[in-house]
Amino acid sequence: MGHRVEGTQLDGGRRDDRLGRLRRFRRDLHRIPELDVDLFSTMAYVEGVLSGLSCELSRPAPGCVCAFFDCGSPAATAVRADMDALPITEATGSAFSSRHAGRMHACGHDAHMAMALAAAVEVDEVLSAGAAGRAKLGRSVLFVFQPAEETTGGAATVCASGVFERYRVDRIFGFHVWPDLPWGAVASCAGPLLARSSETHVHIEGVSTHIAKTYGVAASESRDAMLAAARFVAGVRELMDRLGAEEPCLARFGFLEAGTVCNAVAGSAHVAGSVRVFTDAMFDRARTGIRAVLDEACSSCGCTGSVEFADGYPPVDNDPELFALVRRALPELERVREPLLIAEDFSFYQRHLPGVFFLLGIGPSEGATAGGYGELGCARAPLHGDALMFDESVLVRGVDVYRRLLALP
């Protein structure tokens, strides 16, 4: 997806000021990772930065901080940043490693917050010019710092709070840092970008009996829950191969538990995984197919089974009309040609109002040397990895994109 983007058009001194601010925000936040909605230190830090600016602060939902900059416009633009971390023990060895054992910003949310805070500071600087500044910005801005992106979908509670109606927000933008893109590349697409996810749990009931008693017994009469689970997992793989030939979809299982001892047939089994699709129609087909595969697997082994599909997150689906407006402001924007089978709760915002989500490349650049770029080099380790680290100067690029998005009419 293209080449390294070299940052902003600003003079070097101004860029250095931005980078110093971004680096400070990101590293401060990286040290204090917190989980789910229990974000007390993180919220205090975010509010500490914002309280010195000319904005209205609020907490419209549990674990959420919002900052509204009023330009007197009839409508406002929202910028979203997620605040929660992951239950991972950090292994970067950096001087600003997590101070909280077993917790780490391993998904880049510290970077997302840093970019949003830096953009808020710049909005405040523009508005300090009075009427001229308000005219330059054009639209009011709402910064949303949300909880629980990694767990229960905190974006849904923000939407339900009424905060967007209160501040007349009619569009929203957000970023995710992305190791699979070259350093500094910004990419997105109109329509589906990321998948709908649904955590899936399967329970199979059989009868536990000593394996010696199963000799000569047909599989259909064995009541072997482990065998039924194995046939189910294999059957779903075949189902997805068929459905995937029509449009991207995925169902995979990462957990299987069955039986209690080595010399007895399993009396029960639990299989857990996730379904990923891009349309409601395919989600319905996948669920119907999975239920049919389960019924067949259980019947073939004399067992019974049930399956539960969580509501999960909707697909991240970028509004085509807003995306067309964005393309005019960001001519260098690269297109994601195939939607990605990962999930993000930014999707809840897009079911509430038009929105566009972007990926910011933190990976290697074409022609990059082993040392990468900047103080820390290009990204090391994948997202959700305990060694994730990247060159923070890429965040200047993200703030520059926000600056242009907030200037859209």
pLDDT tens string for the chain (409 positions)?
A: 332 223 333 333 466 789 999 999 999 999 999 999 999 999 999 999 999 999 999 999 999 999 999 999 999 999 999 999 999 999 999 999 999 999 999 999 999 999 999 999 999 999 999 998 888 898 999 999 999 999 999 999 999 999 999 999 999 999 999 999 999 999 999 999 999 999 999 999 999 999 999 999 999 999 999 999 999 999 999 999 999 999 999 999 999 999 999 999 999 999 999 999 999 999 999 999 999 999 999 999 999 999 999 999 999 999 999 999 999 999 999 999 999 999 999 999 999 999 999 999 999 865 443 333 344 456 768 999 999 999 999 999 999 999 999 999 9
**Of 146, 34, 152, 37, which Cα lies nearest the Cα of 99?**
34
From CA 144, how far away is CA 136, in angstroms rounded? 22
Res 346: pLDDT: 98
SS3 content of the chain, % helix, strand, coil (to 5): 35, 25, 40
Buried b (16+ CB within 10 A) or exposed e, 144-171: bbbbbbbeebbbbbbbebebbeebebeb
- Residues with Cβ < 8 Å from 374, sequence gap 6 or more? 391, 392, 393
From CA 92, how far away is CA 262, in angstroms rounded? 40
Question: What backbone phi and psi angles, to 5 degrees, belong to 320?
Answer: -60, -40
Res 12: pLDDT: 39
Q: How many DSSP H helices and E strands does the chain contain?
A: 11, 14
Element (DSSP H or E) covering residue 335: strand 334-335
Task: Say if residues 80 and 113 touch (Cβ distance below 8 Å).
Answer: no
- Parallel, antiparallel, or unpaired for β 268-277 and 196-205? antiparallel
Collapsing DSSP to helix, strand or coil, 198 comes out as strand
Tokens at 397, concatenated: 């690029």
Task: Say if residues 56 and 67 touch (Cβ distance below 8 Å).
Answer: yes
- Residues with Cβ < 8 Å from 398, sequence gap 6 or more? 111, 115, 175, 186, 360
Collapsing DSSP to helix, strand or coil, 103 comes out as coil
Tokens at 177, concatenated: 């840092």
DSSP state of 52: T
From CA 380, how far away is CA 227, in angstroms rounded? 40
Task: Say if residues 320 and 191 touch (Cβ distance below 8 Å).
Answer: yes
Tokens at 372, concatenated: 């990468």
From CA 73, how far away is CA 223, in angstroms rounded? 68
- Residues with Cβ < 8 Å from 192, sequence gap 6 or more? 278, 279, 315, 316, 317, 318, 339
Residue found by looking up tokens 């449009």 in the block? 247
Res 287: pLDDT: 98
Rg of the chain, C-alpha, whole Å: 24
DSSP state of 96: T
* Position 173, amino acid: F
Res 378: pLDDT: 63
**Of 322, 309, 315, which Cα lies nearest the Cα of 346?**
315
Res 134: pLDDT: 87
